[in-house]
C-alpha cells in the first residue's frame, strides 16, 4: 500500500524516494530491495500502461466520462491519461473522450487549468445504480451446490 499511495500521489516517484518516505509513513525504513521486489511482483501488474486498474468505490468517487471538444482537445486528452485517475482516452481530430475516476476535489483545479485552452468540456457521471457486482457468497454457494450435485450422480 505504501508504494501505491506514493505512486498515486506522483506516478513518477522513484523507489529511492519511496524508501526515504517509508520511514515517515511506517515508522521504519523499508529497504530498496524489498520495495523493488514488491514493485515487480505486485505493483507493476496493477500499474500497466501508467494506470492502476483498481477502481475506487463509485459511491465515493463516481466513474466519469469527459467529452472534450476544441482545437486543444487531443492534447488535453493525452495529458489527462498520464494521470493515475484516468483509464482510457479515445482521441479524434478536435474531439476526445476520457474515462476514469478522478477525485471530486481535483475537478475544480482541472477546469481552472483548462480555462486558458481552446477546449469545451462536458462531464458525464455514471449512476451508482448502474454498477454491476458479482455477489461472491451466492456465486460460491451455487458452485458448491453444482459440484455436490455432480458428485451425487
pLDDT of residue 69: 94
Which cell goes with 63? 466513474
Specify the range with the lowest mean pLDDT, choosing from 36-40, 43-47, 62-66, 87-91: 43-47
Helices (H), 28-135: 32-38, 44-46, 73-80, 107-114
Residue ranges per domain, the chain?
A: 2-46, 64-130
pLDDT of residue 11: 63
Per-residue pLDDT tens digits for 102-121:
888 888 888 888 888 999 99
Burial of 48 (C-beta count, 10 Å sphere; 0-12/13-18/19+) = exposed
pLDDT of residue 51: 52
pTM: 0.52
Q: How far apart are CA 39 and CA 42, in angstroms?
A: 6
Q: Which CATH number fits domain 64-130: 3.30.70, 3.30.60, 3.40.50, 1.10.3470?
A: 3.30.70
CA distance readout (Å), 25 to 28, 69, 76, 91: 8, 42, 34, 39
Q: How many CA atoms lie within 13 A of 60 on its CB side?
A: 4
Amino acid at each position: 500500500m505504501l508504494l501505491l499511495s506514493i505512486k498515486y500521489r506522483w506516478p513518477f516517484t522513484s523507489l529511492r524516494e519511496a524508501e526515504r518516505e517509508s520511514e515517515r509513513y511506517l515508522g521504519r525504513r523499508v529497504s530498496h530491495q524489498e520495495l523493488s521486489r514488491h514493485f515487480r511482483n505486485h505493483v507493476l501488474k496493477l500499474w500497466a500502461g501508467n494506470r492502476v486498474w483498481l477502481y475506487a468505490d463509485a459511491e465515493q468517487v463516481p466513474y466519469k466520462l469527459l467529452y472534450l471538444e476544441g482545437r486543444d482537445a487531443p492534447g488535453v486528452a493525452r495529458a489527462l491519461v498520464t494521470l493515475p485517475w484516468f483509464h482510457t482516452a479515445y482521441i479524434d481530430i478536435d474531439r476526445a473522450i476520457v474515462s476514469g475516476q478522478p477525485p471530486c476535489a481535483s475537478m475544480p483545479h482541472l477546469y481552472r487549468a483548462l480555462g486558458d485552452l481552446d477546449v469545451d468540456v462536458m462531464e458525464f457521471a455514471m449512476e451508482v445504480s448502474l454498477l454491476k457486482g458479482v455477489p461472491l457468497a451466492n456465486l460460491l454457494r451455487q458452485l458448491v451446490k453444482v459440484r455436490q450435485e455432480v458428485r451425487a450422480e
